[in-house]
Structure formats: structure tokens, C-alpha cells
A and B are shown apart, each in its own frame.
Chain A
Amino acid sequence: MGGQGLKRTPLQEYTERLRREFDWITIVQTLVSYGMLFVFLLAPLASLVGRAFLFGGEFSLAWFVDILGSPEYVSFSSRGGRMFEVVRGTMYLWGYDHGILLNSLIVALSVTILCSVIGVVVAMLMGRYNFRGKNVFKVIILIPLLATPFINAFVIGKMFNPRGGLLNYIFFDLLHLLPWRVDIDGLVGLIVAQTLSYYPIVYLNVLASLNNIDPSLEEMAENLGARGLRLFRTITLPLFLPGLMAGAIITFIFSLEDLGAPIGFIGARANPLAKKVASYQIYSNFAEALAGGISPKTIALALIILLTTVVSYFIVKRITALRSYAMLSKGGRWSPRLRTPAWWIQAAIALSMLVLVLFAAMPQIGTFLLATTDWATSGTLPKHLTSEYFVSLSTNPDVLMAITNSLVYSLIAVFIMVIVGSSISYIVAKRDIPGRTVLDALATLPVAIPGVSLAVGYFLFFSSGWFRGSLFDPLVDPAILLIFAYSIRRLPFMTRSVFAGLQQMDKSMEEASMNLGASRVSTFIHIVLPLIVSHVIGGAILSFVYSMAEVSTSVTLGALREDRMPITFFISQMVYGLAAVGSVSIGAALCVMLMTVQITAMAISNYVLKQKVSFLGV
């Protein structure tokens, strides 16, 4: 019988396939996803790129040549600063100024290396040893992940102040453990503040990788005679390396785009060296935006930062994809390799963990002290408790406005992310349409994009051309742009969570429904959504928390109109000291509120939805 006469041409087949795949729900999902990613991600970035290469109306590399050639940005010899200098009983640790761009890279690399070392050590201790109090450490080790934008760096600056800083008081004046007071500030200050905040990211990624290693792989190596460092070097390290790289690249990106530490340090110490990083320079240029736009040099700087993060992100993603070994004996439950060492080793581990955790939790503890006592003005130690700062949260009209704004922005952003994020994940996980892989890449891209660069792109794209003077124009009203900035920046949290849910769902779940006569739309509503609803809610909670605590676009775009300011911009103003002395405590109180929201959200995620909070990673 004739198979021949029934053959269709490849083109016919292709159009037939497209016709089958594109029912209306798929069309809507695809259009909405691409539309949002195009208008609020690609177009602004494109105008950032376009403008950075524009000089006198023509294509030119002038601004880049200018930046790379000017010692203000790149200088191989030191332009100032102090390092290991002891002057009148104080050791100064500030770092040397090598120009804005090099400073940024040096800080980001240092933070990445320090976080990697600490993260790996802690992950090995937590992942391979039993010791007393481990369960407590498991929780408190995550404290640095609690959002205390600006205030964390402010606290560190205050602690290391040679004049009355608490740490100097304890270790020099009280215990005489140090031969001099220590002054940590400037670039080193940024490194310390960022390392303490970000090492848990590396730790979590490495731990997840470690727990995913089939114990029999290490046991086999031991069986063949490898032990200790050799075992670690030849088996364990290569197997958790993808996790380490994932954590490290996120740390690098976070450090490069961070505004919290520079602003916090300047609030605490007013040392201009803390300003000499790219993120801060871009931020401070936004103040001029109201008057006459952003300078072309700033645009070029934003693009350089953007390219650095995006390129390194995709290189690392590529390498980790190649190095992610699927463990062969998947699915089976295995008991992890946990050793219970002698009591004195246990004690040593617990003690060093305690020191680390105390040190790392210092910003959060300090924030709490600032919010609940008079510590901001009392000197070395707080003198008395006060509730005035918390009270001001509900009485100060500016604070109330900032809280309301952030709530409104974040809630609308979450709504957008639920729609767009679920659509993207569904298309990527379950549908076979052209452009699927592009959609996947675009939805992951925001992880690699520095908020300050995105803010510059938004400003350029929406304050000119068609959008000039419209509600999208940040000079008219930044609210809509902030909502979309949050939606884009936090989208990966949403898509990752939903995608995980969809991958757990066998395709026969949908097929059974369609086989019984339900259309794709009806199947999506009655079968798919109920099966992934906990993942959608989990993603929504996470996105909400991180939208409320968003810094980069909030303090740049959010600065453009006072009645539209979000919480984080308000906190930055309090820390910066533009307001009255002691106002930093109001910022701290706001941070305590943010932390409470965050803890509540994580608890709901963990205990109600039974979802592991998804970590930041590649």
C-alpha cells in the first residue's frame, strides 16, 4: 500500500506542526512573554549599547577609549589610599585606588575568592561532619542572606571605626589582643561587607552539589587507597566544582553591581575611597539625570559593567553545563557521608563556626540594635532601649509612603511575574515551538544583568523617542518602570521555581486529559495549574521578598520623583545622612521590617508549601 503518495513535504509538515502547536493559549503565552522581554529587557539594553557607541552623532569607540585611557578609571599605579599603614596606634586597611573600573574588578574578584574559600570550607564542615549544635548552625548560617540593604555596611563601618568602634573597643581597649586599633574602610571595607553578605550563596551552592554526590564515588576512591586531601582534590572537588562556580559567578555579579556597601560605608565613615567603584559612579550620575540626562561616559561605564557580567556569566554557565555530571545511581536514597569526629575536634569546629557566624551576622545584629536602641548616637555601646523608631514606621508620613509604594510595586510585579513566568516555564518545559530556547536564555539573562546598567537602559529608552512624556517616562513617573524593573530582575526566581514543578510532572498527565477530550486550554487550567500551584506560590513569595528589597533600580529610577520612592531608596537617604542625625535608625527599623517579611515568607515556603527555597545560582 502506498506510503509514497501520502508523504508530505518538509514544509507542509512544518506548517502542520506549527498549526497544531499554536492553539490560542500558546499564542497568548508566547506573545506576552516575548513582548515583555522585548520591551523591558532587550530594547532598553539595546539603547544602552547604541548610545554608548554614539559620539557626535556617529558610531565611535571614543567613550571607551576615554574610559580605558583615563587614570580616573584605569590606573595601574596607586592614586591614593592606605594599606597596612600604622599611624599613631591605628592600622589603616583601606586598599589602594587604581581607578574606578579596576577598583570594581579588584573588589569583585577579591570578594569572589574570599567567598569561595569560606563557602567551600563551611560547606565541607556542614556537609561531611557531625558536630554538636549543627542543626542550629544550619539555620543561623543563613542570617547574612537577610536583607539589610545599606545598613549592613553602615554597621561594619561603625564597628571598625578607630574612634569608638565596638570591635576596636573589645579587642584593643578591653582585651589588649591587638597591638593597634584597626581601621577598615574604603575598598577593603566594601570587600569585608560584601564577603560577609555573600559567602552563604557559595556555601549553599556547594552544599547542594556535595549532597548530590553519590557517596559510593568517594567510597570507591577510598577503597582504592585515596584519603584526605588527595580524595578531596581528585574526587570531591571536581564533583562539586559546578556548584562552586555557580555560586562564585553570582557572587561576582552581585559584588560588581552592589550599591548597598558603598552607600552604607559613606554613610558611616564618609571616606571618598568607598565611592570609587563603577556602581556608585553610575548611581551618583543619576542625580544629574533630572537636570539634563546621563553623561555618555556613564553610559559607556554601565555597558562595560554589563558586558563583564554577562560574558562571564555565560562562560561559567557553559563550563558548568559541560561539567555537570549526572550521577549514575540517581533516584535511590543514600545516606550522606557524615563523620562524627572526636569531641575536641567537634568543639573546635563548633567554635570556629560560632566565630564566623557571629562575625557574619554582625550586620543583622547591628541593624537590630540600631532599630531598638540609641546606638546610632550613643557611641561605642547602646545606652538604652527605645521604640521610637518602630513607632515612626507607622507615624512618619514619608516612611508610610515608601512602604506603601514598595508594597504596591512588588505586588503588581509579582502578578506580572506569575503570568509571564508561568507562561515562559510552560513553553520551555512542555511545548515544542520555534524560539523556545531563545525564550529560555532571555528569561535567565536578568540574573547576569547589573541593576544599575538596566536602570541606565530604562532611562535612555523610556525618556526619549515614543515614550517621552508618557507615563513610562521615568522623568514623568518612575512607578511603572520600577514595577517592570522588579518583574524583569526577579523573573528568574519565578521561572526556576515553576520550571522545577513542571519537570516533576510527567507528560502523561496532560496527555491523559487531552485523550479524554479536553482541549489544551482546559488541560492547562484543570490539570497543569493545580499540579504546579505550590511552585507558583513558592516562586511568587520569593519574588515578592526580593522585589521589596531590590536596591539598584530602586535608588536610581526611584530617586527621580520623591512621592514615588520605594523603601530601599528611603533607607539609602536615611543612611546617607541627608536627614537628621540618628535617622539611620529609622532605616534600620525598616530593615528589621524587611527581615521579618523575609523570614515569614521563607517559613511559609518551607513549612506550608513544603518547598525548598530555591537558591541563587547559575
Chain B
Amino acid sequence: MVEVKLEGITKKFGDVTAAGDVNLTIDDGEFFTLLGPSGCGKTTTMRIIAGLEYPDAGKVIFDDKDVTQLPSFKRNTGMVFQNYALWPHMKVSDNIAYGLNVRKTPKNEIKRIVEETLELVQLGGLGDRFPSQLSGGQQQRVALARVLVINPAVLLLDEPLSNLDAKLRVEMREEIKDLQKKLGITTIYVTHDQEEAMTISDRIAVQNLGIVRQVGTPHEIYNYPVDIFIATFIGRGTILEGQVRAVDDKARVMVSGKIICGVDTSSNLSDGDAAMCVMRPENFSLEDPGDAANVLEGTVEWAAFIGPYKEVKLNVEGRTVLVDVPPETPTGIGNKLRVYIPHSETIVLSKGEIA
């Protein structure tokens, strides 16, 4: 198990920057996720760690050892490909044994490890099948088993669940998380699915246009996004634009003649800046929460019953605000509603480009 460090990693494909000065430290045993929209460079960053791509500049360091120029086969990383890359001409057991054969592990040892690993990923007894005879979920487990047997220093998972159906995806991500905890293996996970990233990761790096915008725990990323891209990419929310009037312990923003107070999560606002207030629908309540809160009043434009709550679009002086309310709330179109959101749960960010 190792600590993985990226220092100033830069990689361009023609004019497209896949990685722009990426600096990351992934701790030993950590479950770390690279999250971002498709084409943001997260897969390239992972392939650079695996040694399948070489950076134009920067260093890849495993535990103080510079491996930047080391070919993939000397790095001892275990990569699970998006399409699994199972070799169709080999049985499941031969696919799994491959890395051990390369390492010249004794035959009887290989047999034992393969059996054990098949059990570990719940594929006991399927070793004699060919990959084409397995279901998508089973193929996924074989791909995982194939890299686990070599005790990789780092486990690399490139959108491993994207080819599975929704239900299986949830099952598999729990399984992967359990397995990772049990083995304590440093894991880097690439996904574009923010929900998946939230539920599975110790820490997340959000990447866009090759640049890492924020690194933090799921909680930090969700509640304290440092820029408007992250605030909008992750979770639902309403954005109200305005101008900063004052910044002290709170940021006070003038939004169409009304002051809205919130937290300056990026700590870079000053008076007069154009700003955006981000409000998560689930942070609204119908009753005054007691502590300092912004109050919005509007009429119902649209409402949808989700189950545990109702999603309502409120028209507040010409702007639409998304609010979750208890399911029993009367929400006929045109109904008047007054909602509260605590200052501490209102995020104020400077108006950057929403890239």
C-alpha cells in the first residue's frame, strides 16, 4: 500500500488540456475519487498514474519514489477498465491467474490464490467459464479479482460501474467499498456520477477542463463548494444572482432589492463583487428555524410528488426557487408559500463562469 502523489501533472492532446498542473496527494489506504463531467481529464489523470499515458510535465510519486517514466508493467498498480478488458480467449481462472503467472508464482500457490479470490468476489465455481458466459456484474467481479490477486500498490477503478444497470450499480459499489475497507488498499476511483462519488469516497477531487477545482470529503464538497462550477455540478440547487454589500462573519448580498445572508465558502469575496447565492432545496423549511434565516415568499409554479417530500418550484418576485417541502403540504398552482433557509446553509460564491 502506498501514498500516491501527483506534482504538477500536465498533459495535452493537441489543443485540449486533459490535465492542467494537477497536484494531489492520495493517502495510504484512502478511497479517493476523481469526479467530473465527461471529457474533464479524470481518466487521463488515472491513466498517467497507471503508466498507460505519460505526462508532458510533472511527476508521479509512489511513497517518495518517482515513477513518472516507469512503464506500466513495473508499477504494480491494478487497473479495472471501464469495459473490463477481460481476455476472451482465456477462462475466468486464467484471466485471474495472469498477473500471478507473470510474477512466476508457483503453480499450486496460484491455484489456491485464484480459488480464494473467486470466493472473495463471490464467483466460487465459475473459474472454468469463459468471460462471454458471464453476466455484466460477474464480468465486473472477474476484472476486480484479476487485479486484486497481484496485491497492487494502488487499485485504479475507471468508471467500473458504468456498464451495469442501476440496481446492480448500487449493489456493486457497496461491495467494492466493503472490499476496499477489508483489504485497506489505496484506491483511486474515476466516475462522473456524483451520487456514486459521495457514497463511496473518503475524499473527492472535482476536476473540470483538466483542472482540479476542489479536493475534500464528500461533506466538504457538498456543503462548502469553493466555486460555482462545483456548487452546480454537485447536488440540486437554486442560484440567485446579486451584488455583495458587506462581508463580515457573513456575506450580505443584495438580490433584487433584498439582502440575503450566507456563508462565503471560498473566502474571496469583497464589497461590490457580483455574487451568486446557492440554496439547496432540502435546506428550506416551512417554519422559522429560530436562528438567523433568509425568508422567501412566493407562489407555487410547479410541484412534483417524489415520495418522502414534494419538489416545488416557487416564483419569488420573478425568480424560480427550488424547494423541498413535506409531502402533505398543499401545493396547488398559485398557492402562496413562505420558506426559510438558515444563513449557515446559504452558500455565497463569486460569480465565476459556470464551465
Contacts and interface: CB of A to CB of B under 8 A. Distances in A.
Interface string B7-23: 11010000000000101
Interface of A: 1-4, 6-8, 13, 16-17, 20, 506, 508-509, 511-520, 522, 526-527, 530-531
A3 B57 CA distance: 7
Given A514-B72, A517-B74, 16 more contacts: A1-B8, A506-B85, A508-B83, A508-B85, A511-B52, A512-B87, A513-B87, A514-B73, A515-B79, A516-B98, A516-B146, A517-B76, A517-B99, A517-B150, A520-B73, A530-B89
Contacts of A515: 50-52, 72-73, 75, 77-79, 147
Max chain A CB contacts within 10 Å: which of B54, B72, B79? B72
A296 B230 CA distance: 77
B182 interface: no
Interface in B38-97: 50-52, 54, 56-59, 69, 71-79, 81-83, 85, 87-89
Given A508-B85, A530-B89, A513 B98 contact: yes
Chain B binding surface, main DSSP class:
mixed
Nearest to B57: A7
A16 B72 contact: no
Contacts of A511: 50, 52, 72, 79, 81, 85
Contact of A514 (B57, B58, B71, B147): B71
A69 B90 CA distance: 67
B102 interface: yes
A366 B82 CA distance: 59
A590 to B, nearest CB: 40
Contacts of B150: 516-517
Nearest to A7: B57
A512 B81 CA distance: 8
B112 interface: no
A522 B99 CA distance: 11
Interface of B: 7-8, 10, 21, 23, 50-52, 54, 56-59, 69, 71-79, 81-83, 85, 87-89, 98-99, 102-103, 146-147, 150
13 contacts: A1-B8, A1-B21, A6-B8, A7-B56, A16-B54, A20-B54, A512-B85, A513-B98, A514-B71, A514-B72, A516-B99, A516-B147, A518-B99
Contact of B56 (A4, A13, A514, A519): A13
Nearest to B71: A20
B102 A522 contact: yes
Sorted nearest first, the 4 A-B pairs with minimum C-beta distance are A3-B8, A516-B99, A508-B85, A512-B85
Nearest to B21: A3
Given A6-B7, A16-B54, A508-B81, A518 B102 contact: yes
Nearest to A533: B89
Contacts of B56: 7-8, 13
Contacts of B77: 515
Given A6-B57, A517-B103, A531 B8 contact: no
A13 B56 CA distance: 8
Nearest to A523: B73
A1 B73 contact: no
Contacts of B73: 514-520
